[in-house]
A and B are shown apart, each in its own frame.
Chain A
């Protein structure tokens, strides 16, 4: 336990205090954009409230343990950063606090086991393949149908119900393997390396394949380096920078030899994490400069394509109404908001409509949907209502988590036949076919 009256408190608390800038203005600009606050309307669930409480901890008025629960319910969407007049780096506050939480109370028992399994799964290609086959079999063999009709969903924990609704349609588990190298179409513009990502690689290989083809069509030679692994977002968000750093080093080493000028990702969160490797490894003298070089090459697919004035050659059926759901980490951290919309608008035949609250988190948020399923469900349902109100028949996303959450929401609302969720790379690739 902490000694709140102690001059410095434990070492991890002193570290936290030294790392974060918590000079909050108390202006409340963060309140309307914060999903956990909007869900509960509790001050303690807002960035402003959490920062106020950290100040009280540092002032010795409150034990650190009493503020932890409020940082646990944060989705980490970082919408507050974009709204904050002081420019407070809430992401850093959250990261440092979660690291302190982990130091104060390391995970034990079932939580530790669950975390270990999850981390091993995202790292291991075999585990990802197993997940892919499992998801395919769950739907293809009729297990999902049986589960749905058995009434099991209603009796099972909400996490199971959500996972059931999320299980995506893995079209072909053996699927197209990504080539290790794809030649450019037309005049070569340079060489890029594709970051596959763990969820994309497990469930959305077609999205990575589409990404490769889009890049080739835009004139890039695409390398898919072997040895790459998960970006480390899950570990980093869980307050485990050491585990994240292990993954970061593997990725840096894997990409260094590719000779690529850019490292391209099609996942908002992966991109945000990869672009932060410099900070993650800043205290590692052997890796910090390599990390900085690496992160300088990371670019988001949609930002890149939009900058290249990429326009799909085919199109979609005339009058197709498409909307777009922001990926929090693409919009709030990487600041890529307009580019995906611009790409959609360029698709022949598309009528783009803006989704109300498009920048508000959908509730997936890494492991948040597992740890706080009720709150996640409420956010998901809000999003589904907004999609329905938009009149769109297609919703594009820029992150596999957003896809899964929206897919689940539409499934639960019985709207999956009326509204199709797609990852934007897939939509662009479909539209790029000449006879689409």
Chain B
């Protein structure tokens, strides 16, 4: 639903100008400015446009903005780098709070090993600062412009998830402006003067940090986050293996992870392999891929079905010993060792040593004119035992929609479970019919995943509302945000609004 911009004579507009001070250049309801926030990285058909954009520079300004929006009962959507996949689109209009100007690295605590960041700070800014200190942070599968805070608090996928867990598990505390304008801090820094070293210190208070992680701005605006950093490894070793089928891969990967032989495991299906890329190169001459061309790609029988990068990091001697074990155990499990290209090695090193990713594989294809630019994904959080079943469920759906079976995975520590993802990348985001095709395919993949009993990240509202825990969230939401101003569209996401 489209709503008209809030004009500069509106009391809310004037209140926001007063909130951020200055000459009003940080508040805009010009159509050109509003349209900039009406799309993101996704192919979603369910979009929206804010009625007003405001760019605060401080926590105090965020407080004033929320007080005003609260008083005027106007929806508020927080926003950082615009790299979301549908999450931050202002589907209900209202005020979009663009946090890019709050982009300071406030602290790097080398004793307690965390960094304190504002929401607008990007990976491009932070990584070099950490590298100077011999530290690294989790680098996401996202461009360098991505917000460090948003990536960690919104389940963005990062390079540390195999060693230390998902992004939110690396968050040690938050500063949040609640919908009425009150500021709270969670974790150890809730007490004045304490550093942000831990999440749970004030029993019987529960882990209030967790309350806001993944909440998509529905409970307040996060203005600071303390995030773990780690000493850079002294040595990095890595190998690439192929497996003839998914089940064999599961057995080997589980054994290696449990024995703590490897620190990082990331895998991908044949379609993302070097061999598939070579086939693409043979067939395509600069034009975007057609569905027929994609559908006709077949792997050779002798080629592995699933591939893994496995990395070992740490002290030199330890790495050397574990790398030897890795090769032996992998061979025992019928793994086929594959050659790593210099690009592979460079990329691996960059990620492990905390440098934002250079161009992704898709991006490289894009440069060659072989990729239209679409990106969507199905992100399941699956135990390893579910891989084969998901693979079997997803395969016919992909085939029916003319999309290759494009799966990648990352394991969580010790192989407890994994993110098992279907990457939907071969469609034209500027073509409505193509987007409709992809949206339909995505819906079928989501249903198939849920039918397998596997949770989805970013599950649509109808799925969430069936959960027994959902009323607890609703009660908390009602208490903190009685007028429901905070990102209200999130509560109805996926319910068919267009």
Contact between B39 and A26 (Cβ–Cβ < 8 Å)? yes
Contact between A67 and B82 (Cβ–Cβ < 8 Å)? no
Contact A52 B81, CB 8 Å, known A28-B143, A31-B145, A86-B367? no
Residue of B nearest to A61 (CB): B35
Number of CB contacts from chain A to chain B under 8 A: 92
Binds B, one of A41-49, A126-134, A165-173, A331-339: A41-49
Contact between A31 and B81 (Cβ–Cβ < 8 Å)? yes
**A23 CB contact (under 8 Å) in B125, B143, B430:** B430
Is A85 an interface residue, CB under 8 A from the partner? yes
Contact A85 B120, CB 8 Å, known A28-B83, A53-B35, A66-B31? no
Contact between A25 and B122 (Cβ–Cβ < 8 Å)? no
Task: Pick from B36, B362, B375 the residue with the most CB of A within 10 Å.
Answer: B36
**B145 CB contact (under 8 Å) in A32, A52, A70, A85:** A32
What's the minimum C-beta distance from B58 to chain A, rounded to whole angstroms?
A: 14
Residue of B nearest to A32 (CB): B124
Contact between A56 and B35 (Cβ–Cβ < 8 Å)? yes
List of A residues within 8 angstroms of B30 by Cβ: 66
List of B residues within 8 angstroms of A87 by Cβ: 366-369
List of B residues within 8 angstroms of A160 by Cβ: none
List of A residues within 8 angstroms of B146 by Cβ: 28
Contact A62 B32, CB 8 Å, known A86-B373, A87-B367? yes
CA A134 to CA B128, docked complex, whole Å: 45
List of A residues within 8 angstroms of B363 by Cβ: 27, 29, 85-86
CA A56 to CA B32, docked complex, whole Å: 9
List of A residues within 8 angstroms of B55 by Cβ: 41-42
Q: Mark A30-61, 1 if CB is under 8 A from B, else 0.
A: 01100000000111100011001100100001
Contact between B366 and A86 (Cβ–Cβ < 8 Å)? yes
Contact between B32 and A66 (Cβ–Cβ < 8 Å)? yes
Q: Mark B115-148, 1 if CB is under 8 A from A, else 0.
A: 0000010101100000000000000000111100
List of A residues within 8 angstroms of B430 by Cβ: 23
Chain A 211-261 residues near chain B, CB threshold 8 A: none
Chain B 100-115 residues near chain A, CB threshold 8 A: 100-101, 103
Chain A 128-183 residues near chain B, CB threshold 8 A: none
Contact A26 B40, CB 8 Å, known A41-B100, A87-B369? yes
Is B427 an interface residue, CB under 8 A from the partner? no
What's the minimum C-beta distance from A58 to chain B, rounded to whole angstroms?
A: 11
Residue of B nearest to A67 (CB): B32
What's the minimum C-beta distance from A43 to chain B, rounded to whole angstroms?
A: 5
Contact A52 B35, CB 8 Å, known A25-B366, A26-B82? yes
CA A66 to CA B35, docked complex, whole Å: 12
List of B residues within 8 angstroms of A52 by Cβ: 35-36, 39
List of B residues within 8 angstroms of A85 by Cβ: 359-360, 362-364, 366-367
Is B41 an interface residue, CB under 8 A from the partner? yes
What's the minimum C-beta distance from A2 to chain B, rounded to whole angstroms?
A: 13
Contact between A44 and B33 (Cβ–Cβ < 8 Å)? yes
Contact between A62 and B31 (Cβ–Cβ < 8 Å)? yes
List of B residues within 8 angstroms of A31 by Cβ: 81, 122, 124, 145
Please give the number of chain A residues whose Cβ is less than 8 angstroms from any Cβ of chain B in the complex.
Answer: 26
List of B residues within 8 angstroms of A26 by Cβ: 39-41, 82-83
Contact between A29 and B359 (Cβ–Cβ < 8 Å)? yes
CA A70 to CA B31, docked complex, whole Å: 14
CA A56 to CA B359, docked complex, whole Å: 27
What's the minimum C-beta distance from B51 to chain A, rounded to whole angstroms?
A: 15
CA A31 to CA B125, docked complex, whole Å: 11
Is B372 an interface residue, CB under 8 A from the partner? yes
Is B37 an interface residue, CB under 8 A from the partner? yes
**A41 CB contact (under 8 Å) in B32, B120, B372:** B120
List of B residues within 8 angstroms of A48 by Cβ: 82
Contact between B367 and A41 (Cβ–Cβ < 8 Å)? no
Task: Pick from A31, A48, A61 the residue with the most CB of B within 10 Å.
Answer: A31
CA A53 to CA B430, docked complex, whole Å: 14
CA A25 to CA B359, docked complex, whole Å: 13
Chain B 35-56 residues near chain A, CB threshold 8 A: 35-37, 39-41, 55
**A28 CB contact (under 8 Å) in B33, B82, B372:** B82
Residue of A nearest to B360 (CB): A85
Q: Mark A59-97, 1 if CB is under 8 A from B, else 0.
A: 001100011001000000000000001110000000000
Q: Mark B356-387, 1 if CB is under 8 A from A, else 0.
A: 00011011101111011101000000000000
CA A73 to CA B132, docked complex, whole Å: 33
List of B residues within 8 angstroms of A24 by Cβ: 373
Contact between A28 and B35 (Cβ–Cβ < 8 Å)? no
Residue of B nearest to A31 (CB): B145
Contact between B35 and A27 (Cβ–Cβ < 8 Å)? no
Contact between A23 and B145 (Cβ–Cβ < 8 Å)? no
What's the minimum C-beta distance from A320 to chain B, rounded to whole angstroms?
A: 25
CA A25 to CA B41, docked complex, whole Å: 7
List of A residues within 8 angstroms of B362 by Cβ: 85
CA A61 to CA B35, docked complex, whole Å: 9
Chain B 244-261 residues near chain A, CB threshold 8 A: none
What's the minimum C-beta distance from A394 to chain B, rounded to whole angstroms?
A: 24
Contact between B36 and A43 (Cβ–Cβ < 8 Å)? yes
**B83 CB contact (under 8 Å) in A23, A27, A70:** A27
Task: Pick from A27, A32, A85 the residue with the most CB of B within 10 Å.
Answer: A27
What's the minimum C-beta distance from B48 to chain A, rounded to whole angstroms?
A: 14
List of A residues within 8 angstroms of B429 by Cβ: 23, 25
Task: Pick from B33, B122, B375 the residue with the most CB of A within 10 Å.
Answer: B33
What's the minimum C-beta distance from A69 to chain B, rounded to whole angstroms?
A: 9
CA A62 to CA B35, docked complex, whole Å: 9
What's the minimum C-beta distance from A335 to chain B, rounded to whole angstroms?
A: 14
Told that A24-B373, A26-B40, A62-B35 touch, could you supply 9 new A-B pairs with CB distance under 8 A? A23-B372, A27-B145, A28-B83, A28-B145, A32-B122, A44-B32, A85-B359, A86-B367, A87-B369
Task: State the B residues within 8 Å of A (CB).
Answer: 30-33, 35-37, 39-41, 55, 81-83, 98, 100-101, 103, 120, 122, 124-125, 143-146, 359-360, 362-364, 366-369, 371-373, 375, 428-430
7 pairs, CB–CB < 8 Å, chain A vs chain B: A23-B373, A31-B124, A41-B120, A61-B31, A66-B32, A85-B363, A86-B371
